[in-house]
Amino acid sequence: MTGPLADRRRPRIVIPLAQQATGGLLSMLACLIAAPMVLSDYQLMLFSTGIGYSVAVLGVAIGFASIGMLALAQPAMMMIGGFLALHMIEQWRVPFVVAATCATAVGAIIALPLGWLTCRLDRFAFAVLSFTFAYLVAMLMSSSLLSDVSGGELGRPFPVDAALAFVPQGMAAYVIVATVGMIAFASAALLFRSTMGRILIVMNQDDVVARTMGINANSHRIALTAIVSGYGTLSGALVGQASGFIAPPQFDVALSISLLAMALVGGAGYLFGAFAGTMILQVMPAVLGLTQVDRELLVGIILLACLAVLPRGILAIGRRRLPRPPAGAGH
């Protein structure tokens, strides 16, 4: 083939999330394998709770890294997913994996109409609306209106999956949470290698160009809202399984800010960033035995330092930004 089409190469699109995926997944797998060998039972419970939270942070990171979405409704989704999984296990005796999968699907389905309603809003309007939604859900779940579902302020115990009854309880919860968490992170890696992932990257780089090229930005925004919410509801189920307990105060509005902070500190553009950020800001302070107030101080200081010095997150240390292809490459 000759002529101008002969040199048409596939355009080199820089996709940090996809390129770092393999290394990120292997690092995470190494941590998950090593954890039971080096941590005590209590520390392992904190670590597995952290894995649960990291799935919610992953959703926030995906939304932020792709189109700059400020997904502040994750605590609400976590609460919905956690209590839904709890009731499915209690009422219908389904295995945890089935309950968690259903919770993920329900989260995505709930988010579809919400995404459709909000897809034309600007970033800050979406953030305000989602923050208000998180506040509303937290308030309703803590109130007497839904106390039959949530147990009110005191919450409900979360049953461990009966399939692993032969394993010590703490280890059973860890195995389930680590496995499902790993699958969640692997799915995020696949997402950014897919066509949709590339479209999201293009929308982030230049929304106008994306629309000009025929990409329906609104429908992709709606799909992204569903994906982010799905990770949120899955995370709620995982947190319940890991801690053996689920209560509305675990998912207050301050958690919205904390999840975003974890995503930013770890590095929203890196797959392992959600995991790293959660370990630094959620698990490490708990393992060190810091009080809630001292944890908040630590989170605020680390977040501020990261935003000022490392705006791309801790995982960006030592990584240089890959160059954009010169204009006209691939044409």
Partner 1 sequence: MLLATIVSGVSLGFLYGLVALTLILLVRSTGVLNFAAADVGMLSAFVAFAAIAQAGLPVPAALVLTGCFAILFGVFVYCSFILVRPGDALMLSLRTLALFILVRAVAYKIWGANSPYTFPRLIPEGGIAVFGLNVSFTQLLVIALALAVALAVGWLTSATKIGLMLRAVSSDRDTAADLGVPVIRVDLVAWCMATLVAAFVGILVAQLNYLSPDMMSPILLAGFAAAQLGDMHSMRIALIAGIALGIIQSVSSVYLNQPEWSQVLSFAVLAGGLLLRGQLRRRVVVT
Residues found near partner 1 in the complex (CB under 8 A): 68, 117-118, 120-121, 123-125, 128-129, 131-133, 135-136, 139-140, 143-145, 253-254, 257-258, 260-261, 264, 293-294, 296-297, 299-301, 303-304, 307-309, 311
In the complex, minimum distance from the CB of residue 162 to partner 1, in angstroms, rounded to a whole number: 36
- Helix (H) / strand (E) element for 157: namely strand 156-157
Q: Which CB sits closer to partner 1, 67 or 160?
A: 67
Q: Which CB sits closer to partner 1, 20 or 258?
A: 258
In the Cβ-directed half-sphere of 137, how many Cα atoms lie within 13 Å? 26
Helix (H, G, I), strand (E, B) or coil at 108: helix
The CB density around residue 156, as the number of other CB atoms within 10 Å, is: 18
Q: Which residues pair with 156 in a beta bridge?
A: 246
Q: Which CB sits closer to partner 1, 234 or 262?
A: 262
In the complex, minimum distance from the CB of residue 297 to partner 1, in angstroms, rounded to a whole number: 4
In the complex, minimum distance from the CB of residue 199 to partner 1, in angstroms, rounded to a whole number: 21
Distance from the Cα of residue 326 to its chain's centroid: 34
Q: Which CB sits closer to partner 1, 124 or 166?
A: 124
Q: Are 243 and 45 in contact (CB under 8 A)?
A: yes
In the complex, minimum distance from the CB of residue 308 to partner 1, in angstroms, rounded to a whole number: 5
In the complex, minimum distance from the CB of residue 223 to partner 1, in angstroms, rounded to a whole number: 19
Indicate the DSSP class of residue 321: P
Q: Which CB sits closer to partner 1, 18 or 302?
A: 302
Kindly list the distances between the CA atom of residue 106 and the CA atoms of 55, 60, 103, 167, in Å, as whole numbers in the listed order.
16, 18, 5, 30
